[in-house]
Amino acid sequence: MNMNEELEALAQRASEVYEEEQRSFRARQAAQAAEEEAERRQAEHQAQERFEQALTLLERSGLPSVMRPWMRRLRTYPDSLTIQLRLPEPFGCSQCDWQITLRDEGWYGIAGCERVDAATARSGWLPPESFVRWLLFGLEASRREHARWQALKAEDEVARAELAERQAEVLARACPWVQETADQTVTLYQVQYIRGMVVTEEGELRSLEETGWSRSDQPDAEGYLTLEPTADCAERRILKLDPLLHRPLFRKHVLSLKELPWELTEEREEQIRGFRRLRWEEGGWLVRDSAGSVSFSFRVPLPWVLSIPHRA
């Protein structure tokens, strides 16, 4: 047998061994998977039996059997059993979640609701009879809390609608010109100029720029320009601007009173009686209360803006 024949025989033998090992490996994998599946099914069967036994124990301890359809088993650790309870209205809502855990030391329950924070509750490790009493008490407390939440929500919706109408009335009284001049505009001028120069740490000169609002787009005959009050500066300023030194740049704005920038408006506040806001930890509800009042803040155009003739 020459060298090539020996190499071919070696390759053939190696291929046979490889295929044999692959078949053996796949057979071991299949056997292991079948064993794991059998163990999983057995564990699932045992867990389901334990779940049914737990429900029976709860019913014997006083839990109404009508609750059984709303309880399901959760996948948890092998040494414990966790049951989820979600009841329909009026005992709960889609965000209510009651979880019951059974271990050797007893029963433990936790309840939470994303909608009603006050519905959150916890129990310690309790024997079945005591745990059922805790659960029934918690369900009734949750039902009452949700009933209160629903009543507040309905009251809040009605009160907010009424408050919006009252706010519109306040605006109509405080800002009658907005409706009267809805299709008219005012012409305003915004001027940007150099107020002075400063020397930076690097020794360079840097200009200090400032802006203001005026009724005119140019100074008077003596070179003075009047800058009107704004929300940031309540005083009227009269400046003498040198075109070469201050380099004023005027920008024309044609605006309706509804389009005025914030700095050309001032804040007003009024109390609207007949409403009251509950504490935020109770949900921030708005309710009707003849003895209460809520503040309403809004902004109106500055007086000098209103004095400018309006144009269609």
pLDDT tens per residue across span 295-304: 999 898 999 9
Please tell me the pTM assigned to this model.
0.62
pLDDT digits (tens, 9 = 90+) for 127-182: 989 999 999 998 888 888 888 888 888 999 999 999 999 999 998 888 877 666 65
pLDDT tens per residue across span 84-119? 998 887 777 777 888 999 887 789 999 888 777 655
What pLDDT is attached to residue 188? Answer: 92
Question: Within a 10 A sphere around the Cβ of 184, how many other Cβ atoms?
Answer: 13
Report CA torsion sign: 174, 180, 182, 184: negative
Q: How far apart, in whole angstroms, are the C-alpha atoms of residue 111 and residue 91?
A: 12
CA angle 291-294-300, nearest 5°? Answer: 140
Question: CB–CB of 204/265 below 8 Å?
Answer: no
Helix (H) or strand (E) holding 110: strand 106-113
According to the model, what pLDDT value does residue 180 have? 63
13: exposed, middle or buried (Cβ count in 10 Å: 0-12, 13-18, 19+): exposed
Q: Assess whether pLDDT exceeds 60 at residue 266.
A: yes
